[in-house]
Structure 1
Amino acid sequence: MIYKPRSVVALTLLASCLQISALAQQRVPITVTISTPTPVAKSGTEIRIDVSVMNTSDQPVRILKALGFDGQADLVNDPHVFDAKGEPVAWIAGRHSGLSRKTITVEPGKSEDDFMILSKLYDMTKPGAYKVVVQHELEHFGVHHPDERFQFVRSNELQITVTE
């Protein structure tokens, strides 16, 4: 049987699409959990968010971590804060320039913990309820397709109440 070049190209394209689709459907190998030691905080006080990235797979996973001391989790975990109406809260920190990040390996069943001071990043001085989520940027090393190389893994939602 003689294959026409168009048939070969179509089969190659189909195989590529199936491979990309399979990558997209792979189980996310991490979970991101956030918590706070102070779910109720007085206006103007420091609000700390603890971030735990756990490897839920059966293989070592490489994740991003901020260089230097702990307390810079916002460099690799994108925080989002919303008021009681669901509106985004104003970002008050300057944008990160020259992000200093490194790659670390997290073994199966283990987690990497860090924290951020949310009150230094967002204006949370107005009394009320706030919803917080973070997204961890997971890089799939060895994947060359730009749409499949990075994946954002969303954390649980955290409720924080600010009082007067």
Structure 2
Amino acid sequence: MSTAHDFDFFFGDWDVAHRRRLDFLDPASGWEEFGATSHCWSLFGGAANIDELYVPEQGWTALTLRLFDPETRQWSLNWATERTGRLFPPTIGAFGPDGRGVFHGDDTHDGKDVRVRFVWSGISATTAHWEQAFSLDGGDTWLTNWSMAFTRRAGDPGGRP
């Protein structure tokens, strides 16, 4: 069951290897790869956090605001970029007993309604993996279109609120 401290592993500084489809909805699309750095910090005693993602190679920054709802025991993950100045619709979900976090939401992409899935996995003191997938059929089939491999930056002890 999810707790207000599920994302404590993510506090600190990370190097990020991105792999992203050139067309999020096309399974035949090629991929682009690029690097970034991320810094995450805690709010509300761990029940909220923000990470800011710096992507100098592509000239943008982004953030995720994560909020824990103690009533539902679920997290909302809210993504924004400086390019739009708006929060995208949230994905909502929780971590399971296997340590894997799965979050779903609804959005639009290129004028099409999409179901969105974020998955957090491979979590350790020095690594984490995030991936995004879209579904055009309400979640029957999924197309992974973006992944990020996080590696803790050298000298960062991590896990700090």
Which structure's residues are more often strand, by fraction?
Answer: 2
Give the structure with higher Rg (CA): 1
What's the TM-score, normalizing by structure 2? 0.30
Q: Which has the higher contact order (CA 8 A, sep 6+)?
A: 1
What's the TM-score, normalizing by structure 1? 0.29
